[in-house]
């Protein structure tokens, strides 16, 4: 009897949870699929809810919270961003505010970021399609895999450089952001090279156009390892790519080397930005060198070597 009473009371208590002042009914909550942020004199916010398709809310305010409040008033509902899939913005300074956004609005760490590089989203933009397109680019190893958490984490690295997907008039590419400024936007080759250097998501096949026509290599599995050693005071980073697959491995290996070189040149050498995990690699393999040497000098001095091991 005691057990029955206890269970009944516990069950009744569960029923009371809806009586909490902070509880919000599902119909009174707007679940946001995508957010567009535009910084001008004010913060302009565009919210794209999951449904109905095509519906969006525009609001502005002196700060993001102020714009968010206005959006909630306009929609007549509480705004929930815990499941937001895409956050697009045209002002890199907004990146510095994203950490607070993740905390305040419970933005998902897996939320994708998209920097609008000299372009803007059309009024009738299908943001769900845009998110899916971005994911497809990543899944096919055409651009490196990133998300809010990745970007925030990279932004806290020693040089503060972070790799961000960017949308240009030609399609998706990658930009490097440092603090509140964009250091540069990368070429297609460098972007593909970064996929190999970072090793998070890799393409499923490599096609090399040569004298003998198009040589294909179907990749069944691949992984990248970065290791470093100091030789005559110079840090040498060896990029070892382990490849498994079928096709012309030699041509594929040469192509991977070319792509990696393009990425190293554009990021570490030209933009002086570490978005390949150079700091982690040096900290792990040459901690004394990194402790003694300024990281900027290390980036300037570093030499890369490529080893492609195909099975």
CB 161 within 8 A of CB 149: no
Q: Does 134 bind another protein (CB under 8 A)?
A: no
Q: Does 295 bind another protein (CB under 8 A)?
A: no
Closest by CA position to 114, among listed 101, 95, 141: 95
If the CB atoms of residues 104 and 218 are measured against another protein, the closer one turns out to be 104
Chosen residue from 156, 213, 233, 311 binding another protein by CB under 8 A: 156
Q: Candidates 115-123, 205-213, 252-260, 284-292 — which segment interacts with another protein by CB under 8 A?
A: 284-292
Closest by CA position to 37, among listed 134, 132, 105: 105
Q: Does 157 bind another protein (CB under 8 A)?
A: yes
Q: Candidates 135-143, 240-248, 259-267, 273-281 — which segment interacts with another protein by CB under 8 A?
A: 273-281
Q: Does 149 bind another protein (CB under 8 A)?
A: yes
* Per-residue interface string for the shown chain with another protein, residues 59-98, x marking contact by CB under 8 A: -----------------------xx---------------
Chosen residue from 8, 63, 100, 106 binding another protein by CB under 8 A: 106
Q: Candidates 107-115, 204-212, 246-254, 264-272 — which segment interacts with another protein by CB under 8 A?
A: 107-115
Chosen residue from 90, 154, 264, 266 binding another protein by CB under 8 A: 154
Q: Does 6 bind another protein (CB under 8 A)?
A: no
Count CB neighbours of 222 within 10 A: 22
Burial class (CB in 10 A: 0-12, 13-18, 19+), 232: exposed
Closest by CA position to 202, among listed 233, 224, 175: 224
How many Å from the N-terminal Cα to the C-terminal Cα in the chain? 69
Residue 62 has which token pair?
């002196």
Chosen residue from 63, 78, 153, 297 binding another protein by CB under 8 A: 153
CB 67 within 8 A of CB 44: yes
Which parts of 15-44 interact with another protein (CB under 8 A)?
20, 22
Q: Smallest distance from the beta carbon of 6 to another protein, in angstroms?
A: 11
If the CB atoms of residues 189 and 272 are measured against another protein, the closer one turns out to be 272
Residue 79 has which token pair?
């705004």
Q: Does 108 bind another protein (CB under 8 A)?
A: yes
Q: Does 240 bind another protein (CB under 8 A)?
A: no
Which parts of 197-236 interact with another protein (CB under 8 A)?
226
Closest by CA position to 267, among listed 169, 167, 196: 196
Q: Does 128 bind another protein (CB under 8 A)?
A: no
Q: Candidates 88-96, 108-116, 238-246, 256-264 — which segment interacts with another protein by CB under 8 A?
A: 108-116
Size of the site for another protein (CB under 8 A): 26
Chosen residue from 283, 293, 295, 301 binding another protein by CB under 8 A: 283
Residue 37 to residues 61, 157, 219, Cα–Cα distance (Å):
11, 25, 38
Site residues for another protein per CB under 8 A: 20, 22, 82-83, 99, 102-103, 106, 108-110, 149, 152-157, 226, 277, 280-281, 283-284, 287, 291
């Amino acid at each position: 009897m005691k057990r029955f009473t206890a269970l009944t009371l516990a069950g009744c208590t569960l029923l009371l949870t809806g009586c909490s002042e902070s509880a919000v009914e599902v119909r009174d909550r707007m679940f946001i699929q995508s957010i567009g942020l535009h910084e001008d004199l004010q913060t302009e916010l565009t919210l794209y809810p999951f449904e109905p398709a095509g519906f969006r809310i525009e609001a502005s305010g002196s700060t993001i919270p102020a714009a968010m409040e206005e959006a909630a008033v306009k929609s007549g509902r509480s705004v929930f961003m815990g499941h937001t899939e895409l956050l697009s913005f045209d002002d890199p300074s907004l990146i510095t505010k994203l950490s607070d956004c993740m905390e305040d609005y419970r933005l998902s760490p897996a939320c994708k970021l998209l920097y609008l590089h000299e372009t803007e989203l059309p009024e009738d933009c299908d943001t769900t399609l845009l998110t899916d397109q971005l994911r497809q680019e990543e899944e096919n190893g055409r651009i490196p895999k990133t998300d809010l958490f990745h970007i925030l984490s990279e932004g806290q690295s020693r040089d503060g450089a972070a790799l961000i997907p960017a949308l240009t008039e030609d399609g998706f590419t990658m930009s490097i952001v440092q603090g509140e400024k964009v250091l540069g936007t990368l070429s297609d080759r460098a972007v593909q090279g970064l996929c190999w250097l970072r090793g998070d998501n890799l393409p499923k096949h490599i096609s090399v156009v040569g004298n003998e026509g198009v040589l294909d290599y179907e990749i069944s599995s691949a992984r990248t390892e970065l290791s470093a050693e100091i030789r005559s005071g110079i840090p040498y980073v060896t990029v070892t790519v382990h490849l498994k697959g079928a096709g012309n491995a030699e041509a594929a290996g040469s192509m991977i080397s070319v792509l990696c070189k393009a990425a190293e040149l554009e990021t570490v050498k030209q933009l002086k930005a570490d978005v390949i995990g150079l700091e982690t690699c040096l900290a792990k393999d040459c901690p004394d060198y990194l402790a003694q040497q300024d990281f900027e000098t290390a980036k300037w001095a570093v030499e890369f070597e490529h080893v492609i091991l195909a099975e």
